[in-house]
Structure 1
Amino acid sequence: MLDANNSSIGRFDKSFLVHMIKDFFLVLLAVSILEFALKAAAVYYNYSVNGASEAQVVAEDLAENVRSIMRNEGGPVAARTIYPILERNWTDLGYAVAIVPSDVTIRSIENAFDFVPAGIPEAWPPGDFKEASVQITAEAFCLQCHTEAKVGDVLGTVTVHNYLQRDFAIWFNEVRLAAGLAVGKIVLHSVLLFLILRARMEPLLRLRAVVSSLSKAYGALDQRAEIRTEDEFGVLARDLNIFLDRINRLISEYPS
């Protein structure tokens, strides 16, 4: 219980209205932070459950791209131009990829085209990742360039790393946009709440003014609070008026 002489009583920063706005603001802020945290947990859960399958889909897609290049009669030469493009495209999507030619491919291309095929060298950045690999096997149309291979031989391996930081980078970009909108909504809602509370608490403020006047020396006991609403504030104003009527009646009955 506070001391009646406490100097902080009645200060604006101790107002019920200010406390309500502050609490409302903090609650909305906490809800927004919790929402972002839950989304982060969902991102991690999705990565844990689906990360490997997503990497597998990318590896199979990239392997099919390689087969399409090999179907072109200028396959090995075209690959030297197209592989860097494929690597850049998948890197932009957050995946790290590698295409490692097998020994039979290296020998075949070196003999037929006079250069050593490099594919896409393995250059794995650090971080938590899920890996998927697909082997590319020789088909009949491959033997035109891969002269030392037989149908079914492994011509190379496509490897894909799906990194957790990729998913969190996407999450962070979404959070950065959503956070700005959330702060704007919180401020707007706080202002609207202030205006609503100000209007709804006007009877209470009037009641407080009456009580404050009565508490002062020589305050007139014949003043009454206006009953403006039918809610608890109206009931409080009515009970205060009844109390003042009783006091006035007692004073009038008291012998001079």
Structure 2
Amino acid sequence: MSLDPITFGLEVLNFLVLLWILHHFLYRPIQAAIAKRQQQLTQAQQAATLREQQAAALVQQYRQQLQLWDSEQAERRSALQQALQQEKQLAMTQVQQAADTERTRLQTLMQQDSAKLRKTLEQQGAQAALALCAELLQRLAGSALDQALLDMLLADLHQLPAAEQQALRTAFGQLQGPVAVSCAHTLTPAQQQSLTQALTALLGQACTPELHIDAGLIGGFRIDIGAQVLHANLRDELAFFRSGLSHVGH
């Protein structure tokens, strides 16, 4: 088979035309499309990388914020615990102080009550003893007791201080009447004589006492010289002790 040069040339021309058409209308648009696509992929990849970096930065920021928040919460919890501990300690101190104050108050009240009870018991005991003593003296009252009290009175009259003797003499000088002598029982003539002599010696002039019987004296004598009074009887002595007990109780 012989190759026709014209046909061959036309074939070559057709092939070249086809190549040009393919290059101009197919290859270049495909390359442009591929390049554009590659560019888009690169941009998308860069954007994705940027977003990933931003996301990582955001995560890191969130983590830092969480750590900061945890740290702040821990500090707040610590501060709250310290405040609660201080409040608890303060409350316990106040409660302890209140308890100590109340304990002291109760102890003081108990001591006061104990002292009052002790005084009351002492008073009751003293009153009972005084009542018993008065009862015994009532039973012992008589001439023998009167004689003992008279002897005591005469001895005391001789031992009176000078100032008291002068006061009695002054009162006797101003007296518009006899010296009144109260007796629990009737005196014997000897007792009357001893008493008269003692008063005369004490007052510095003759003195005849006026005798009165006062059974309430229980035993002994009471001598009234104007405003001056000499006691030597059981009733006044018991009253004196009873008054002393009342003053001690208060």
TM-score, normalised by the number of residues in structure 1? 0.31
* Bigger radius of gyration among the two: 2
Considering fraction of residues, name the structure with more helix: 2
TM-score, L = length of structure 2: 0.31
